[in-house]
Amino acid sequence: MIDSPTSFPDPARPVPGGRETHRLVAFGSGLAVALQFEQRTGYAGFQTVVFGLESTATGEQRPVVISAVDIKFGQGWELRTSGLWADQNRERSFDHWSYGLEAFALAIDEPEELVRTGHGHRVPLGWELDFVADGPPDPTAGETGSFTQTGTMEGLILTASTEQPLEGRARRSYWIGERPSHSDLVTLVDHPRSHPGSVILPTMFGPWTVNGAG
C-alpha cells in the first residue's frame, strides 16, 4: 500500500451537488479502455469506449461505446439505468480502486456515431477491473483537489461469448469542474486536440474524444 499523505482527499463518494469527474484510461493485452464517472449538480453520467474487441455482430473489431447521462444516484458511485449497471469503489485511498460493469453497449462504425445518429450494433459488455497505483498522486497545478495517478490495470473484459484478460498500464484522474477532453490511450496522456478518427463520447460537460490507435 502506498503511504503518501496528501493535502487533498481521494473522494470515494460523490460530492453533494458537485461538478466532478473520475476518469480511468488503460492500455494492454491488445485492448485499450477509457471510462469515466461524472457528476453535475446531483446527477451522474457514465462513459466508456473499448478498442480491440471483436464484434460478435460483425466479426470485425469496432469501438464498443456507452454514453449515459442524467442518471439518478444510488449508493455512492453505483449507477443504474436502463441497460446499465456500473460502479467504482475505493478499496484503499490513493492505492487501489475496483470497477464493475454489466451493460448493453454499441459497436459503432463511425467515430462520430454517438453525437450524430446514435446508431450501432447492440452488444453486451461487462468487466471486473482493478487499478493499483505505482506511486503517489500528482496534484494538478492550479486546480485544488485535482490530480492524476499512474498504475496498472488488471481484470477481465466480458462480452457475449468471451472473457478477455486485460493487463497493462493505466492512469487515473480526478478533477472538479470542466476541462478540455482529448485522451490518447496508447500514451495515456491528454492532448489539446484529438487525433483524426478519435471516438467522440457525449458527456455532461461536452464531448470527450478518445484515440485508441496512437
Confidence of residue 3 (pLDDT cuts 50, 70, 90): very low
What is the Cα–Cα distance from 171 to 117, expressed in whole angstroms?
A: 31
**pTM of this structure:** 0.92
CATH number of 19-211: 2.40.370
Q: For 10-67, how does the pLDDT look when each residue is reduced to its tens digit (9 = 90+)?
A: 999 999 889 999 999 999 999 999 999 999 989 999 999 999 987 555 556 789 999 9
- For the chain, which residues make up each domain, given as ranges? 19-211
Beta-carbon neighbour count of residue 85 at 10 Å? 15
Q: Name the amino acid, one letter, at 211.
A: N
Long-range contacts of 192-197 (CB under 8 A, 24+ apart): 197/111
- Cα distance between the two ends of the chain: 32
* pLDDT at res. 71: 96
Residue with cell 455482430: 57
* pLDDT at res. 132: 98
pLDDT at 119 over 70: no
**Residues in contact with 147: Cβ distance below 8 Å, sequence separation at least 6, in sequence order:** 6, 8, 137, 138, 139, 140, 173, 174, 175
* pLDDT at res. 154: 98
The answer to whether the beta carbons of residues 210 and 185 sit under 8 Å apart is yes
Q: What percent of the chain has pLDDT over 70?
A: 90
* pLDDT at res. 1: 42
| Mean per-residue pLDDT, 183-190 | 91
* pLDDT at res. 31: 95
